[in-house]
Structure 1
Amino acid sequence: MKMHINIQLKENRWLLIAIVIGSFFNSFMSSSLNIAMPVIDNEYHVGIAKVAWISESFLLASAVGLMLAGWLADQIGRRKTFLVGNLIFGFISLFIYFVPGFYPAVILRFIQGLGSALIMASAPALIASAFDPSRRGFVLGIQTTFTYVGLSLAPLLGGALTQIFGWRSLFLFNFIFGLAALAIMFFGVKNEWKARERNKFDFGGYAIFLVAIVALVLALDWMNKFSIIMLILSIITGYIFIRFELKKEKPFISIAFLKSNKYFTNSNFAALINYATTFAISYVLSLYLQNVRGMTPVGAGLILCFQPLMMALFSAYAGHLSDKHNPGKIASYGMAMIAFALFVIGIFLSENLPLPIIALLLAFLGFGFALFSSPNTNAVMSSADAGSYGFASAFLAFNRLFGQFISMALASAFILLSNHSHLGAIPEHALLMASKMIFVFFGLFSCLGVDLSYQRIRMKK
């Protein structure tokens, strides 16, 4: 078996290298921008709620584009989809480096998010297609490891680039990695993988889905005076979408499949909750460390890198464990550790909490995240058939990304409770209290995810 996986790794080495590079720069970009947010706000002076749209526009575009990207991966080919995604992501990074102005940057980040959707929908699907199912968790663990290497380096390297060369240098850095992944996949991988069956895309269902999601996103924008109207619109269109999809022979999202395959459904919703309670951690602690503790971006990055460093160290091993044991059980233990760490940080965070304690808690949280992430991805991909790998990969990525958007929206909401919209105007004690409330709330929310995740243990894939 060991020889078999070594042969597979050798045969697909360029495929795996391209995927891990794509995973690296995708995660590096998201996390490094969180570190740079105070600096970006100092340049644009648009306020903390608005400046968050540099991240949120990217997440929104990725989320709404993922299901279409998953269909494209299954129909036109997962390799082609990956190539186009890297092309868009890389060159938009170059455009952002040169284009001035806040609103052009937000628009370009939205387009970049569409490219990211193509990458995220195709990468796990490529791994599931090219590697044996008995070792899928191990290879997914390798991909996840490099995702977290990007997250590990982002606070330190991203902070250094921001401090020395300015925040736009982050995009030039990502342009180089985008070109590398594009070249390796184009020249090094000649095989193509796609579904055997040709399916028409449900554009009607997709249109209703877009309205529901965009309305929900606008409802979560706490400075939008039409938030209540948008929430009602989202609920109504969400109901219409479910009724519409139940009547379709080839639906955009099969509601019947989600109801019948509860293992798949619980795994995806556990991912949504997990990312909703963890993604904004670096954003919130970056504000806390730089504005309450007076640290530089590099200093804050040194503290924040402990969480993704633990993810990078243990993700491959967690994926290996999920090949031998119930991945739902391993993921549940990881999520329970995350909930515990969030509660402890929320309770004990203060103006003088020793920095080594913060680093230790982040390391503990990172270990829990490692136990959750690659086993949960393995659980999702193993509960889907080969012709639906693009859909399964896209649906998981959608839940992950929408969870990230919810996380940023909730964090912004708690900060806005201080009645200040500009970062520099928030008193230190108000920012500290907002940070504590965010972590306690995230800990409570995470308990729901633990329950969803644990229910899978008694289910069959």
Structure 2
Amino acid sequence: MSHPRDLYESASVRWLTLLSVCVATFLMPMSLSSVNVALPVIASDLKADAVLVSWVPTMNLLGAVAFQLPAGRIGDILGRKKIFMGGALLFAVSSLSVELINDIRPLLAIRLIQGISGAMIFGTGMAIVSNVFANHNRGMALGITSAAVYLGLTCGPWIGGILTDVWGWRSVFLIPLPLAALALIMVGTFVHETERNPHERLDWIGSLIFMTATSSLFVGISWLPSWTGALLALFGAAAMALFVYQQERSSYPLIRLRHMIGNKVFFRSIQSSFLMYSANYPLQFMMSLYLQYIQGLTPSEAGQLMLLQAAVMAVVAPLSGRLSDRLEPRVPATLGCVFFMLGLAALATVDETTSQGFIAVLLLVMGLGMGLFTSPNNNAALSVVKPERLGVGSSILNISRAMGNMLGMAVVVLLFNLIIGNAQIEPDQYPLLMSVLRIAFIICAGYAALAAFTSWRRGAVRPA
């Protein structure tokens, strides 16, 4: 078999490979953000309370976090193309099954499966792109991949709002199916399989411990302040400590934490990613509730306003990625953290009288911030990873993002439990809803401030 990098010396082959990966990386966030806009309608149709509704985006995260590291490692061993295509196929099948449900709980199971499919796609997609463009403008290529994600986030609220208004919320799950089929065809045609590594094995014990630890931590934090939640969170923390211990002694570890921590650029990039996505992920969910319940907008109107942030991110990400090929990545990345923090701090001041123009400006500022941060941060992290470990490296990067998402949403779910409880969101609950949103915006601004610190402290990627 030819060495994989020899197959990508042609520029046309590289760009077709990038396009193929980007179709799938566009699909997943488009589906995610379109479902967020449909949440109020889903809650009404399935008679679900506020806590159960908050689990619709949360279950997706749970699947993504728990399976991310094993998926990336399996891709390194068996071939990244196989895992990538398997994820796209699993997503399509799970989306079809939404026609069979009439209760919120089966929908949560579907969202869990879609999170697993996302782990398979994102755990291998970034590694494929990083390997293909290792010697050819990797920062720009990763920026374009990020732009595909943001374009999906951009189109999702708009598409989801229109579909929900015209055909109902189930159509939000069905419309992505043709795109999933296109992704399978393109990846099958244009992406070359990576070499199988017969000398490596998957650490099944470590994988099971990791999945148990992350799931227990996530669910436990979300169930706080109950005793069940506290005990489950403590169990998850103990299982995570066991995972760290087991990995240092495994013959085929998923990750060597000591080595990762010793790599300052990679470790700080992981920290920054975790913190920024803790700040960013709950934003779609919270803005959907604010714009529809407090501002009285329809799903399509809310979606059109929410797409402003992702639109700016999609435009800025390739430019900042290209900039990080020439400047130290920490410069644009840290600036992006600061912009995002300022936008969130301003959102904590909004109420029912706030103009939509002011909201639009804040979303644009935060879009600029995330666009400046993501591509340079990814470029910095993967620039210091060995080629044969890119699957694990990109999985760790994605885990930091997914665990940040998980923490952000777990805190929001906790706030809903503490302040609103199991009541459905009706007009008499709107003051309490605003209290939840304001507290959450302030907490997220704190995450972004910490991200600015860790981003700058990563140091230089390139020697002076």
For 2:324, the equivalent position in structure 1 comes to 322
Query: Equivalent residues in 2 for 1:51-90 (5 A)?
Result: 51-90=53-92
For 1:302, the equivalent position in structure 2 comes to 304
1:418 matched to 2:405? The reply is: no
TM-superposed deviation, 1:244: 2.1
Aligned-residue Cα RMSD (Å) equals 1.9
Residue by residue over 1:362-383, the C-alpha shift from the partner in whole angstroms, topping out at 9 and shown as x without a partner, is: 1001001000111111111111
C-alpha separation between the residues in 2 aligned to 1:100 and 1:12? 44
C-alpha separation between the residues in 2 aligned to 1:355 and 1:423? 26
Q: Contact conserved, 1:121 with 1:393, CA < 8 A, in 2?
A: yes
For 2:390, the equivalent position in structure 1 comes to 389
For 1:179, the equivalent position in structure 2 comes to 181
C-alpha separation between the residues in 1 aligned to 2:357 and 2:257? 47
The farther-off stretch of 124-133 and 291-300 is 124-133
For 1:374, the equivalent position in structure 2 comes to 375
Q: Contact conserved, 2:206 with 2:243, CA < 8 A, in 1?
A: yes
TM-superposed deviation, 1:331: 1.0
Q: Contact conserved, 1:69 with 1:118, CA < 8 A, in 2?
A: yes
TM-superposed deviation, 1:297: 0.7
Residue by residue over 1:54-106, the C-alpha shift from the partner in whole angstroms, topping out at 9 and shown as x without a partner, is: 22222111111111111111111111111111111112111223433322222
Q: Contact conserved, 2:165 with 2:300, CA < 8 A, in 1?
A: yes
Identify the match of residue 438 of structure 2 among 417, 436, 443.
436
C-alpha separation between the residues in 2 aligned to 1:449 and 1:323? 21
TM-superposed deviation, 1:240: 2.1
Residue by residue over 1:244-301, the C-alpha shift from the partner in whole angstroms, topping out at 9 and shown as x without a partner, is: 2223343222112112112111111211111111111111111111111111111111
Residue by residue over 1:335-361, the C-alpha shift from the partner in whole angstroms, topping out at 9 and shown as x without a partner, is: 111111111111x21211111011001
Q: Contact conserved, 1:140 with 1:377, CA < 8 A, in 2?
A: yes
Q: Contact conserved, 1:141 with 1:318, CA < 8 A, in 2?
A: yes
The farther-off stretch of 199-208 and 81-90 is 199-208
For 1:289, the equivalent position in structure 2 comes to 291
For 2:204, the equivalent position in structure 1 comes to 203
For 1:44, the equivalent position in structure 2 comes to 46
Residue by residue over 1:287-320, the C-alpha shift from the partner in whole angstroms, topping out at 9 and shown as x without a partner, is: 1111111111111112211100100111110110
Amino acid at match of 1:375: P
Q: Which runs of 5+ in 2 are unaligned?
A: 1-7
Q: Contact conserved, 2:328 with 2:462, CA < 8 A, in 1?
A: no
For 1:406, the equivalent position in structure 2 comes to 407
**What's the TM-score, normalizing by structure 2?**
0.93
TM-superposed deviation, 1:196: 5.1
With over 3 angstroms needed to count, the CA separation of the structure-2 counterparts of 1:450 and 1:423, relative to structure 1, is farther
For 1:133, the equivalent position in structure 2 comes to 135
The farther-off stretch of 21-30 and 243-252 is 243-252
For 2:5, the equivalent position in structure 1 comes to none
The ranges of structure 1 where at least 4 consecutive aligned residues each deviate by more than 6 angstroms after the TM superposition are none
Query: Equivalent residues in 2 for 1:148-163 (5 A)?
Result: 148-163=150-165
With over 3 angstroms needed to count, the CA separation of the structure-2 counterparts of 1:401 and 1:125, relative to structure 1, is same
C-alpha separation between the residues in 2 aligned to 1:137 and 1:459? 13
SS in structure 2 opposite 1:253? coil
C-alpha separation between the residues in 2 aligned to 1:38 and 1:197? 49
TM-superposed deviation, 1:222: 2.7
C-alpha separation between the residues in 1 aligned to 2:454 and 2:376? 15
For 1:3, the equivalent position in structure 2 comes to none
With over 3 angstroms needed to count, the CA separation of the structure-2 counterparts of 1:138 and 1:173, relative to structure 1, is same
Q: How many residues align?
A: 454
1:238 matched to 2:240? The reply is: yes
With over 3 angstroms needed to count, the CA separation of the structure-2 counterparts of 1:349 and 1:212, relative to structure 1, is same
TM-superposed deviation, 1:416: 3.2
TM-superposed deviation, 1:420: 3.5
Residue by residue over 1:163-217, the C-alpha shift from the partner in whole angstroms, topping out at 9 and shown as x without a partner, is: 111111111111111111001111333x222465731122222222222211101
SS in structure 2 opposite 1:423? coil
Amino acid at match of 1:176: P
Q: Contact conserved, 2:221 with 2:230, CA < 8 A, in 1?
A: no
TM-superposed deviation, 1:12: 2.7
Residue by residue over 1:104-141, the C-alpha shift from the partner in whole angstroms, topping out at 9 and shown as x without a partner, is: 22222222222111100111111112123340011111
C-alpha separation between the residues in 1 aligned to 2:147 and 2:105? 34
Q: Contact conserved, 2:269 with 2:381, CA < 8 A, in 1?
A: yes
C-alpha separation between the residues in 2 aligned to 1:247 and 1:80? 29
Identity %: 27
Q: Contact conserved, 1:194 with 1:387, CA < 8 A, in 2?
A: no
TM-superposed deviation, 1:147: 1.0
TM-superposed deviation, 1:9: 4.0
For 2:32, the equivalent position in structure 1 comes to 30
C-alpha separation between the residues in 2 aligned to 1:185 and 1:206? 27
C-alpha separation between the residues in 2 aligned to 1:424 and 1:148? 29
For 2:215, the equivalent position in structure 1 comes to 214
The farther-off stretch of 175-184 and 132-141 is 132-141
Q: Contact conserved, 1:332 with 1:450, CA < 8 A, in 2?
A: yes
Residue by residue over 1:372-414, the C-alpha shift from the partner in whole angstroms, topping out at 9 and shown as x without a partner, is: 1111111111110000010011111111112112212212222
1:449 matched to 2:451? The reply is: yes
Amino acid at match of 1:152: T
Q: Contact conserved, 1:334 with 1:370, CA < 8 A, in 2?
A: yes
For 1:251, the equivalent position in structure 2 comes to 253
1:353 matched to 2:354? The reply is: yes
TM-superposed deviation, 1:36: 0.9
The farther-off stretch of 337-346 and 130-139 is 130-139
Q: Which runs of 5+ in 1 are unaligned?
A: 1-5
Q: Contact conserved, 1:35 with 1:301, CA < 8 A, in 2?
A: yes
Amino acid at match of 1:86: A
C-alpha separation between the residues in 2 aligned to 1:107 and 1:81? 21
Residue by residue over 1:416-444, the C-alpha shift from the partner in whole angstroms, topping out at 9 and shown as x without a partner, is: 33334233246222212221111111111
TM-superposed deviation, 1:46: 2.2
TM-superposed deviation, 1:322: 0.8
Q: Contact conserved, 2:324 with 2:376, CA < 8 A, in 1?
A: yes
Q: Contact conserved, 1:145 with 1:315, CA < 8 A, in 2?
A: yes
C-alpha separation between the residues in 2 aligned to 1:440 and 1:123? 33
C-alpha separation between the residues in 1 aligned to 2:35 and 2:170? 10
C-alpha separation between the residues in 1 aligned to 2:175 and 2:390? 31
With over 3 angstroms needed to count, the CA separation of the structure-2 counterparts of 1:139 and 1:460, relative to structure 1, is closer
C-alpha separation between the residues in 1 aligned to 2:75 and 2:65? 16
**What's the TM-score, normalizing by structure 1?**
0.94
Amino acid at match of 2:42: I
C-alpha separation between the residues in 1 aligned to 2:196 and 2:317? 29
